[in-house]
Amino acid sequence: MTVPIKIQCLVPHARVPEYAHPGDAGADLFAAEDCEILPGKWLAVSTGIAAEVAIGYELQVRPRSGLAIKKGVTVLNSPGTIDAGYRGEIKVILINHSDNTFVIKTGDKIAQMVLAAVSIGEFTVVKELTDSARGSGGFGSTGV
């Protein structure tokens, strides 16, 4: 199934996201600027694109496993959410967990973008919640 996604190139050298292989869930996102990320620091890297996706969907910005394992660089707010109503430039917040400066060149693959369906919750205030097997066990309380 395909879903139309409109892409606006904001700079002449911007690259439209690309699926590397048929059936891939994530499309590569490319840097639209040269920059460096110092060890332990983060940076919002320009992609030079904006997108329009239908209501009922979001675009998620996720790390590239190759950057994480080979360079220690990942998406800081993973997954980053691009809401259907957002029309600004897509930037990727990368963090450098390595001991080396990470150099980015225009056109480098920096992240991947995944289209995801969105369900909207309807919040209802109640006096009590129903019991569950877990109850009020906190974060990390169910095992190692």
Residue 14 lies in a domain: yes
138 secondary structure, DSSP code = -
Give the model's confidence band at 134: pLDDT under 50 very low, under 70 low, under 90 confident, else very high: confident
Which residue range is the domain that position 10 belongs to? 5-117
Residue 127 lies in a domain: no
Residue 134 lies in a domain: no
More confident residue, 2 or 134: 2
**SS3 assignment, position 124:** coil
Task: Read off the CATH number of the domain in which 18 is found.
Answer: 2.70.40.10
pLDDT reading at 144 higher than 70:
no
* Of 109, 90, 114, 92, the residue nearest 28 (C-alpha): 109
Q: Give me the number of domains the chain comprises.
A: 1
Return the pLDDT at 23: 94
Residue 138 lies in a domain: no
Residue 132 lies in a domain: no
pLDDT reading at 139 higher than 70:
no
* pLDDT tens-digit readout, 7-65: 999 999 999 999 999 999 999 999 999 999 999 999 999 999 999 999 999 999 999 99
Q: Are 35 and 114 in contact (CB under 8 A)?
A: no
Residue 68 lies in a domain: yes
Residue 123 lies in a domain: no
* pLDDT tens-digit readout, 59-105: 999 999 999 999 999 999 999 999 999 999 999 999 999 999 999 99
Q: Are 53 and 59 in contact (CB under 8 A)?
A: yes
State the Cα–Cα distance between residues 143 and 137, nearest whole angstrom: 11
Residue 43 lies in a domain: yes
